[in-house]
Amino acid sequence: MNESKISVRYAKALFALAKDAGSLDVVKKDIELLFQCIREIPDLQYVILSPVIRASEKTKLFGEMFRTSFDNLTISFVNLVLERRREEFLAGISRHFLTLMKSEQGIQAAELVTAVPIDEALRQSILKLIARKFNAKVELNEALDEKLIGGFILRVGDQQLDASIASKLKRIQEELINSHS
């Protein structure tokens, strides 16, 4: 079974449990913290990925780290993941859980990549356009990529609009090469 399937199954199970318990918001905060810690603490990444450290030791460590800040449901879930030796999937499980939460809340994630930073007026226009088109609240993540030269790339869900100068130049180059063939 590949990572994606495992992560999705565990995330869906946690989501269903939290929803049934009426504690989606609490578990969401816990999972956001867990995901942030996994990404930003190299020692935690080492512990998670180490085949030498026993599951019982990992469970004890996670209990000490998160006992006071996590809900009992989240602690139980993380312990289950550790006992089943699926800890390497915790980041993926967290990411999929947070995606399910966004979907539940009607939030559409969008990514805007530009060559230079955009101003607030343009950002608000883009947010309104996406919200209207997808009939959802929008969470806009911005990134800079100087290789675009100008223009932008907008990704919303599985759709992408590439209006960058770099891609237009590449298309022109391909047309020129194909016309001489």
pLDDT of residue 75: 94
Count the neighbouring beta carbons within 10 Å of the beta carbon of residue 82. 22
The span from the CA of 3 to the CA of 86, in Å, is: 10
- Distance (Å, whole) CA 59 – CA 87: 10
| Cα–Cα distance list, 137 to 110, 133, 147 (Å) | 10, 11, 30
Burial of 89 (0-12, 13-18, 19+ CB in 10 A): buried
CA angle 67, 72, 89 (to 5 degrees): 80
Q: Mean pLDDT for each 10-residue chunk of the chain (181 residues)?
A: 82 97 96 95 92 92 91 95 94 95 89 93 91 89 91 88 88 87 63
Q: What is the pLDDT of residue 181?
A: 63
DSSP 53: S
Please tell me the class of the 3-103 domain: mainly alpha
Residue 3: per-residue pLDDT: 61
Which residues are CB-neighbours of 141 under 8 A, at least 6 positions away? 109, 110, 111, 112
For the chain, what are the domain ranges?
Answer: 3-103, 106-179
Token pair of 175 as six digits:
């047309």
